[in-house]
Amino acid sequence: MRENQQEDFPGADRHSDADRGNTNNSAPQSTSRVVENTNPLSEGNGAAQLTRRSFLMWVGSSGAATALPAAAASAFAAPMAASAPVTMDPGLVNVRLTVNDVVRDAQVDVRTSLLDYLRENLQLTGTKKGCDHGQCGACTVHVNGRRVNSCLSFVAMHDGDTVTTIEGLGTPDRMHPMQAAFVAHDGLQCGYCTAGQIMSATALLKEPCGRGDADIKEAMSGNICRCGAYSNIVAAIRQVRDAT
Ligand code: FES
Ligand code: FES
C-alpha cells in the first residue's frame, strides 16, 4: 500500500522517514536537504534581486550585522587614517627687527602679520588696520626704505630688517617735511588713512615717479581716502617733491 502511494505521487520519495516521524532510521537525512542560498551578495543572486528589504533581511538573519563593523573597519581604516585631521602646531619663531632705530627681539607666532606685530606687540598704533587685505594702504610702513603693506607681510619674513613707522618718521615737535606739508595743505579729514598716505608719499620721493600730478596720483593709487582728501594730498606731495 505504502509503495503504491509512493508510485501514485511521484517525488514523494524525496521525503525521508525522519520527515514522516520515523525515528528508527538513524541516517543523517537532514544533511541531504538542499539549503537555499539566501545571501543576496553571492553569485546567483543578481543585482536585480538585491533590494533594500532583501539585504536587511539577510543581514539580520545571517549575523552579518555583527560582522559588518569589523569588515567596514578593515575596509575603511586606511582611507580614514589618511584623511584624519592633523593637529597643527603653529609654532613660534624668534625674530630681530630694528623698528624706528630700536632693536627689537621677539618670539612670535609664525602667523603674525607685521601689522599686528607693530600694533599689538610694540603698541605702535599709528599704523592703522583698514581692510587687512592689502587694498587700502592704511597699514603702509617702510621696510628697508621701501613701502610695504604690513597687513600682507608676516613678521617672520623680516628677521634682520629695518622698519620705519609713522612714529619713527617725525614727532609733533620735529615733523618730517611731508607731515608738515599734510598739515599745511589740510591733506586729511578724519585722519584714519593719513599715516599710510604719508608713509607712501615719503617712499614715493625715492621712486622713479614722473613730475606731473597724474604721476603722483598713479603712484598713490594704493592708498585710499574715504574722506576724499585727494586733491590736498597731491598738493602736499607736490610741494615736498618740488622742494627736493
Ligand atoms: Fe593693509 Fe588695508 S590694512 S592694505
Ligand atoms: Fe579720512 Fe582719509 S582722511 S580716510
Sheet containing strand 162-164, edge to edge, reads 102-109, 92-99, 162-164, 140-143, 146-149
E-state strands within the chain:
92-99, 102-109, 140-143, 146-149, 162-164
Q: What angle do CA 226, 228, 230 make, to 5 degrees?
A: 125
With the most atoms of ligand 1 within 8 angstroms of its CB, the residue from 113, 133, 148, 225 to mutate is 133
pLDDT digits (tens, 9 = 90+) for 40-63: 444 444 444 556 666 566 555 555
- The three grid cell numbers given for residue 67, joined into one nine-digit string: 560582522
Q: 155 with 112: CB under 8 angstroms?
A: yes
How many C-alpha atoms does 142 have within 13 Å on its Cβ side? Answer: 26
Q: Name which residue leads in pLDDT, 81 or 119.
A: 119
Architecture of domain 170-243: Orthogonal Bundle (1.10)
Tell me which ligand sits closest to the C-alpha of residue 222: 1
**Cα separation, 65 vs 196, whole angstroms:** 67
| The pLDDT value given to residue 18 | 39
pLDDT digits (tens, 9 = 90+) for 181-208: 999 999 999 999 999 999 999 999 999 9
Show Cβ contacts of residue 172 under 8 Å, excluding neighbours closer than 6 positions: none
**Ligand 1 geometric centre to CA of 111 (Å):** 16
- The three grid cell numbers given for residue 108, joined into one nine-digit string: 612670535
**Cα separation, 105 vs 38, whole angstroms:** 75
User: For the chain, which residues make up each domain, given as ranges?
Assistant: 92-168, 170-243
Strand, coil or helix: 101:
coil
* Res 80 pLDDT > 50: yes
**Ligand 1 site residues, Cβ closer than 6 angstroms:** 129-132, 134-139, 149, 151
pLDDT digits (tens, 9 = 90+) for 127-139: 999 999 999 999 9
**CATH level 3 topology of 92-168:** Ubiquitin-like (UB roll) (3.10.20)
**Ligand 2 site residues, Cβ closer than 6 angstroms:** 188-194, 225-227, 229
